[in-house]
Amino acid sequence: MCVERMAPRQCSAGGDLIKQGDSGTDFFVLESGAAQILVDGVVVGDYGPGSSFGELALMYNCERAATVRATTDCTAWTMGLRTFRQLLATTASGQVVQRCDFLRHVELLKPLTNEQVTKIADALEPITFGQDAYIIRQGEQGDTFYLIEDGTVRCTQWRSATDTTEAPLLALGPGDYFGEMALMLEEPRAANCIAEGGPVRCLSLDRSKFFALLGPLQNVLQGNMRLRILKSVPLLTKLTDMELSSVADALCVQSFEDGDYVIRQGEEGTRFYIINEGEVRCTLTAAGTGEEKELLRLGKGDFFGERALLKNEPRGANVIACGYVDCLVLERGDFNRLLGPLEKILEREISKRESHGEEVLGLKPTSKKRRDPIALEDLKRIGMLGSGTFGRVQLVQHQKTGDVFALKSMMKAQIAKSHQQRNILNEKNILMACDHPLVLDLICTYNTRDELLMLTELLLGGELWSYIYEKAKFKLIPHTNMGGFQAHTARFYGGSVVLCLQYLHKMSVAYRDLKPENLLVAQDGYIKMIDFGFAKRIPFKKGATLQTKSFTLCGTPDYLAPELVLSRGHDKSVDYWALGCFIYELLVGRTPFTDPRQAEIFKKAIRSDRFLSFPIGFDRDAEDLVRKLLTPSPAFRLGNLNNGVRDILEHPWFTKNNFNWDDLFNKKMEPPYRPAVSNAQDTSHFATINDDVRVIPYTGPQKLFEGF
């Protein structure tokens, strides 16, 4: 497959196949001829037929570390970075799909959701057994589940408790599995499983790792059952998956004996019931006679009383236990505390259908997006705040009200040339759907002939990056001897990012570009997350298939998780890796794997177990948090385990210091620093930039930018 994607290249004697310092994009295999390796003009080695070089370009897109000069006429075969990454992504995607397919055939795991299956697939570890090796021994305590990738496993069993002669049971091959009950029960193995006829390659998962990922299997299966029932309740079909999960967690167990009235006709209803075990009969009491007529019977998995979540009204019938009955119960008060009145949720859905951006994303629309529109011609340009790849950001004033905003202008010609129109539209849709005190407020957007424009709130404090690095010498925010902020300051800014990620991940959005340059300090001293150009909804639909991972390489080198660098596919957990890098940076004044050579940054990140180090004086709780966030395996990274982001919110680095998350969210916490801003048009915290950007005319099809 790789050979088919390679191209031939000829090089005459004396010519350079690659040059030291050039940007590397190709990998080479020398078919014929000879070449020398030169570093700073000094020969340090040579290559002959069959040699390969330039592989760092494929992995890291970095500068060439040496020159390779042909000493004779050479023929080489090359592969570009883009092609290589496509191959990696295709291979990795195929492996994920294959593992998920394996797991879906395991009867015990069939009730798991796609996301849960993908989590397990990521955590599977390869293991090889030699010929005749006992993978499982009868009678031993078991805690590991196995999937066979290659080879044959012979299963045997003792003939009796006193006769340990092994009787053959069956043979298992690729795609088969065994030991799955170990994920649920702590019981002795019921049979022997032996590698037969050569090495046997398996994928394995032990019970402790399964618990860390999802919790006890019994609880997972029960939770999934609750979710399936809740999704079948017509009044609850408009709830998001996150909201349904909250409701499922709030269900309480209530038991009834034979003949007990679960609900009585005419009484005011405040509870909704799901039958977990047993059977009930529903009856109607006739007016006047009091005679009860049976209407129907309900059993396990059925529900009743759902209108009690919506209105204060009398029950329309009796529900009576037939024998012992076990119910899951939800109080209207608990529902309202979690999600608000159900009527408001139903109203939300009506508004949602009226908003294309929210409908596409399936995200909660917000009242702030329904403000009176601001016409572009009513905006007066006052000054420049910044410039970027596609355009500039200007300070503007609404001439009718005097309100000031930031106006981000992006040239269509540049966007189309770099094929970024989908990313820009995606950024707009995500920001329009966001309503969070620590996320940039997008007011409205404009679509002109040559530009796309986004009007946002104005944040005058500048980038957090400048306070870590450039402004450190002015001591605006106190720094420690390690070079970073004091712990309480780092907790404030780090905690703010945690709240942003918690919010975005609840909406199934991966941010994918966390760095202090993308955090602006507002006039009140709080930070706001900006620049959602790399943000992506994960999982996402691709054709008719639900994709649980993205294979796009994006982000900033110092914050890239190993799975991003290696094109193994990634999900929202890359944000937790970046969070670990960010918290380290806040405390130390540099990123954990910093290096002037990009390739070295990636190497250190991939081998973080070897290269992650902490300066003397680094807080132990902070170190524990950072290490757990910088776990190379995304499956076991803090924030991505069974408790989700709660593991971060409840980490000792925060809890031991009485960190109040509600105060941070509600902006009741005193910020470490409030920027000195003289007036609403004070741009002193931004670098001076000339407003001489020429807008490139766009002559392509306007259809590319529909929906903006």
Residue numbers belonging to the annotated binding site for ATP: 385-393, 408
Q: For residues 369 and 310, what is the distance between their CA atoms, to the nearest angstrom?
A: 27
Q: For residues 494 and 584, what is the distance between their CA atoms, to the nearest angstrom?
A: 10
Q: Tokens 């299963």 identify what position?
A: 155
Q: What is the 3-state secondary structure (H, E, C) of 59-119?
A: HHCCECCCEEEECCCEEEEEEEHHHHHHHHHHHHHHHHHHHHHHHHCCHHHCCCCHHHHHH
β-sheet bridge partners, residue 329: 252, 273
**Which has the closest alpha carbon to 592: 603, 579, 581?**
581
Q: What is the DSSP string of 5-67?
A: G-EEEEE-TT-EEE-TTSBP-EEEEEEES-EEEEETTEEEEEE-TT-EE-HHHHHH--B-SSE
User: Three-class SS of residue 408?
Assistant: strand
Q: Are 222 and 295 in contact (CB under 8 A)?
A: no
Taken as a whole, the chain contains a residue count of 708
CA 366 from chain centre, in angstroms, equals: 23
Sequence-separated (6 or more) residues with CB below 8 Å from residue 228: none
Q: Tokens 């799975």 identify what position?
A: 563
DSSP-assigned letter for residue 384? E
Q: For residues 73 and 15, what is the distance between their CA atoms, to the nearest angstrom?
A: 9
Q: Please report, to the nearest 10 degrees, the dihedral formed by the alpha carbons of residues 446, 447, 451, 455 taken in order.
A: 10
Q: Which two tokens stand for residue 556?
A: 């900033």
Q: For residues 189 and 138, what is the distance between their CA atoms, to the nearest angstrom?
A: 5
Q: For residues 234 and 238, what is the distance between their CA atoms, to the nearest angstrom?
A: 8
Q: For residues 53 and 28, what is the distance between their CA atoms, to the nearest angstrom?
A: 5
Task: Based on the residue annotation, tell me whether 662 is a catalytic residue of this protein.
Answer: no
Q: Which two tokens stand for residue 408?
A: 């981000």
Q: Which two tokens stand for residue 644?
A: 């989700």
Q: Are 76 and 17 in contact (CB under 8 A)?
A: yes
Residue 160 has a CB neighbour count (10 Å cut-off) of 9
Given 26, 122, 441, 513, which residue is catalytic? 513
Helix ranges restricted to H, 172-293: 207-214, 217-231, 241-250
Q: Are 74 and 17 in contact (CB under 8 A)?
A: yes
Q: Are 161 and 180 in contact (CB under 8 A)?
A: no
Q: Tokens 């593992």 identify what position?
A: 99
The binding site consists of: 385-393, 408
CB hemisphere CA count around 618 (13 angstroms): 21
Residues designated catalytic: 513
